[in-house]
């Protein structure tokens, strides 16, 4: 129940598309989406596989609540082995594609092998076929979407595709669905392109008709929506400002990474904030923000739809960027803004459009440009290396030029496409890469938020805020307020956040609901929809099982405790301003306790009794 119980297996090498039953024993242990696909991947590939080889697999997967009337139930994930990190990758996206896949009758698509020529997958309910993609290979996401909609003459067709950057091998390319929603991190789009798979187009009309207890499901989802409506974060802050509500808040607490983490506060934060997006531009009197927007079934509507000044240097004679499209959210505004010392909101919005149009992860892109800017200012990168681009911090025109090159996979953009770890190693200064396990930091400085340091260091997909959003507690006071500069209790808090988030990521729901919901609100929804008994305790066990499964995959891939660390800058160079002035991240105090609470050895390896208890 809730699951369609159908998997579509696509052998790209032979062109065969075959239906098979979903493994329901695994579904009862891993729920769906992130957990279930990670189980399939770990069973079907060697963790040591080369990520861009045909032997790697790519899984698109829904959760059991995807497509239902639960609020935010439009999520799907992409699971594979990451070319950026070598870790297991799970990238989560909203929009409407996930629900459409479920309406077509599929829980999951498993892509294996490599097509001998460019193809795309076309699904209409139970019918699936691979079609030639030469016409759209080399096209951007936006062009591909337009071409496929015209070809199939169906405005309700939902499309997920990669852009030109993925085709050119950019290691942090994502998969974009519905024009500006993204399975954005860890290079999942790069894997998709490596298989000569350009897009997946889905049309489903089957609906969801197999809930365990439909009447109860309506009752508990209605009650849960009321909780979201009564929370100031999910009913006021996020609809009005999106995640950009955080820009000024994080800057004030001294955890705003600036100029490649050299500083913890940005003097131009307000100019690129959610508040600034509402203000009329001096140039044309129009605000950056046009409206907010919602994904499938969402009652929060945190998405941003923005426009830019048509006379701005970055968009003159480029009318395709004059229409309203996905605006900057907090992570993109930070990565393209304060991390680069740039306070030009129009330039940030334009570069964000480029990231959407060609499938770049704006976090990894911006953080890599930040590393390049520091290398440039230090003299390790020259004008000859950059193709004449003056890569100083604060240079908005340089940011725009590099974004255009990276989106197209040309010139110095190919260097940026390596990611900051490889870029800094190439130019002899690996310490300037702000990464964990090869993935770039998000928008929170671990010196000002101690829990985020442990979160980054232990994340199974490399540095990530969404694996354990301790900001919720350390800044917003949800579910309880903790001291952001304290290390006491953070190991337990990070573990609890990680386990709970793994369960939410596997349900089909958006993690943003947890600004208002706890598992006490989520468990009844899953229990009313899915076969079996789903309690808070079971969901926490599922989350813990998923976390240890991912850890085991990474260990088998060669990722060890030595990779559970932070850059020297974060551990040795104290914050210069703000509440965290004089502080470094004290990972050494938190990590041993974290291992112990996880039931792992001092070397970060799950103990036999832990694996046995979780059935691994």
Domains along the chain with CATH numbers:
6-203 (3.60.9.10), 242-252+258-433 (1.10.569.10), 441-614 (1.10.599.10)
Q: How confident is the model at residue 288 (pLDDT cuts 50, 70, 90)?
A: very high
Q: How confident is the model at residue 82 (pLDDT cuts 50, 70, 90)?
A: very high
Cα–Cα dist 535/537, whole Å: 5
Cα–Cα dist 569/585, whole Å: 9
Q: 426 by DSSP, 3-state: which?
A: helix
Summarize the confidence of residues 563-584 as an average pLDDT: 98
Cα–Cα dist 415/383, whole Å: 14
CB atoms inside a 10 Å sphere around CB 521: 19
Over residues 384-431, the pLDDT tens digits come to 999 999 999 999 999 999 999 999 999 999 999 999 999 999 999 999
User: Facing residues of 199 across strands?
Assistant: 120, 161
- Nearest in space to 458 (alpha carbons), one of 597, 573, 608: 597
Has residue 37 got a pLDDT over 80? yes
Helices marked H in 359-419: 362-377, 383-386, 396-408, 412-416
Over residues 96-109, the pLDDT tens digits come to 999 999 999 999 99
pLDDT of residue 71: 98
Helix H or strand E encompassing 305: strand 303-306
All residues at 6 or more sequence positions from 515 whose CB lies less than 8 Å from its CB, including other chains: 231, 233, 234, 238, 472, 476, 478
pLDDT averaged over every residue in the chain: 97
Has residue 1 got a pLDDT over 80? no
Question: Dihedral sign, CA of 90, 95, 97, 98?
Answer: positive
352 with 332: CB under 8 angstroms?
Answer: yes
Cα–Cα dist 368/362, whole Å: 10
CB atoms inside a 10 Å sphere around CB 149: 15
Q: How confident is the model at residue 313 (pLDDT cuts 50, 70, 90)?
A: confident
CB atoms inside a 10 Å sphere around CB 601: 14
Cα–Cα dist 226/90, whole Å: 30
Cα–Cα dist 81/50, whole Å: 8
User: How does strand 119-124 pair with strand 197-203?
Assistant: parallel
- Nearest in space to 159 (alpha carbons), one of 172, 141, 140, 173: 141
Q: How confident is the model at residue 238 (pLDDT cuts 50, 70, 90)?
A: very high
Structure tokens at 344: 């030009």
563 with 437: CB under 8 angstroms?
Answer: yes
Phi-psi region of 22 (alpha: psi -120 to 50; beta: other; left: phi over 0): beta
Q: How confident is the model at residue 76 (pLDDT cuts 50, 70, 90)?
A: very high
Helix (H), strand (E) counts: the chain: 26, 17
All residues at 6 or more sequence positions from 581 whose CB lies less than 8 Å from its CB, including other chains: 254, 574, 575
Summarize the confidence of residues 579-589 as an average pLDDT: 98
Summarize the confidence of residues 265-288 as an average pLDDT: 96
Structure tokens at 275: 């508040």
% pLDDT > 70, the chain: 100
Cα–Cα dist 85/240, whole Å: 35
User: Facing residues of 161 across strands?
Assistant: 176, 199
Strand ranges (DSSP E) for 361-504?
A: 435-436, 439-440
Q: How confident is the model at residue 210 (pLDDT cuts 50, 70, 90)?
A: confident
Has residue 209 got a pLDDT over 90? no
Cα–Cα dist 76/99, whole Å: 8
Please tell me the pTM assigned to this model: 0.98
> What is the length of the chain?
616
Question: Dihedral sign, CA of 276, 318, 414, 85?
Answer: positive
């Amino acid at each position: 129940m809730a699951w369609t119980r159908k998997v579509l297996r696509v052998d790209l090498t032979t062109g065969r598309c075959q239906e098979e039953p979903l493994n329901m024993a695994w579904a009862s242990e891993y729920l769906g989406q992130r957990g279930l696909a990670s189980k399939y991947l770990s069973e079907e590939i060697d963790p040591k596989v080369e990520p861009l080889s045909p032997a790697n697999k790519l899984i698109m997967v829904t959760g059991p609540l995807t497509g239902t009337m639960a609020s935010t139930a439009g999520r799907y994930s992409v699971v594979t082995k990451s070319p950026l990190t070598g870790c297991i990758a799970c990238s989560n996206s909203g929009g409407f594609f996930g629900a459409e896949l479920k309406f077509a009758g599929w829980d999951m698509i498993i892509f294996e092998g490599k097509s001998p020529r460019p193809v795309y997958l076309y699904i209409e309910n139970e019918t699936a076929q691979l079609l030639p993609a030469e016409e759209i290979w080399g096209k951007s996401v936006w062009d591909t979407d337009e071409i496929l909609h015209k070809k199939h003459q169906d405005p309700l067709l939902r499309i997920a595709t990669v852009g030109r950057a993925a085709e050119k091998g950019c290691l942090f390319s994502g998969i974009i669905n519905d024009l500006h929603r993204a399975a954005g991190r860890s290079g999942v789009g790069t894997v998709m392109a490596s298989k000569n798979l350009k897009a997946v187009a889905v049309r489903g009309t089957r609906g969801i008709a197999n809930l365990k207890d439909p009447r109860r499901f309506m009752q508990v989802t209605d009650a849960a929506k009321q909780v979201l409506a009564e929370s100031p974060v999910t009913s006021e802050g996020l609809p009005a400002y999106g995640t950009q509500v955080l820009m000024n808040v994080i800057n004030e607490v001294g955890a705003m990474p600036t100029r490649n983490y050299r500083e913890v506060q940005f003097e131009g934060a307000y100019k690129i904030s959610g508040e600034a997006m509402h203000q009329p531009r001096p140039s044309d009197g129009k605000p950056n923000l046009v409206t907010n927007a919602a994904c499938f079934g969402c009652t929060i509507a945190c998405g941003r739809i923005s426009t830019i000044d048509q006379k701005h240097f970055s968009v003159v004679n480029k009318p395709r960027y004059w229409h309203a499209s996905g605006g900057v959210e907090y992570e993109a505004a930070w990565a393209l803004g304060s991390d680069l010392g740039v306070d030009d909101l129009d330039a940030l919005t334009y570069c964000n459009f480029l990231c959407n149009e060609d499938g770049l992860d704006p976090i990894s892109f911006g953080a890599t440009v930040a590393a390049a800017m520091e290398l440039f200012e230090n003299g390790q990168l020259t004008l000859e290396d950059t193709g004449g681009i003056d890569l100083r911090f604060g240079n908005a025109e340089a940011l725009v030029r590099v974004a255009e090159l990276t989106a197209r996979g040309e010139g110095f953009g190919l260097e940026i496409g390596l990611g900051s770890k490889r870029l800094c190693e190439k130019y002899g200064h690996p310490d300037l890469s702000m990464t964990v396990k090869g993935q770039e930091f998000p928008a929170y400085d671990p010196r000002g938020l101690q829990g985020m340091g442990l979160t980054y260091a232990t994340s199974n997909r490399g540095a990530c805020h969404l694996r354990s959003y301790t900001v919720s507690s350390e800044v917003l006071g949800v579910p309880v307020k903790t001291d952001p500069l304290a290390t006491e209790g953070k190991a337990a808090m990070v573990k609890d956040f990680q386990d709970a988030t793994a369960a939410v990521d596997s349900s089909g729901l958006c993690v943003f609901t947890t600004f208002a919901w706890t598992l006490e609100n989520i468990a009844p929804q899953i229990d009313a929809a899915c076969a079996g008994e789903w309690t808070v305790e079971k969901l926490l066990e599922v989350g813990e099982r998923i976390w240890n499964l991912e850890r085991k995959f990474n260990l088998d891939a060669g990722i060890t405790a030595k990779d559970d660390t932070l850059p020297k800058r974060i551990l040795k160079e104290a914050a210069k301003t703000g509440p965290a002035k004089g502080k470094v991240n004290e990972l050494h105090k938190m990590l041993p306790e974290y291992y112990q609470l996880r039931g792992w050895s001092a070397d970060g390896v799950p103990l036999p009794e832990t694996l046995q208890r979780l059935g691994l």
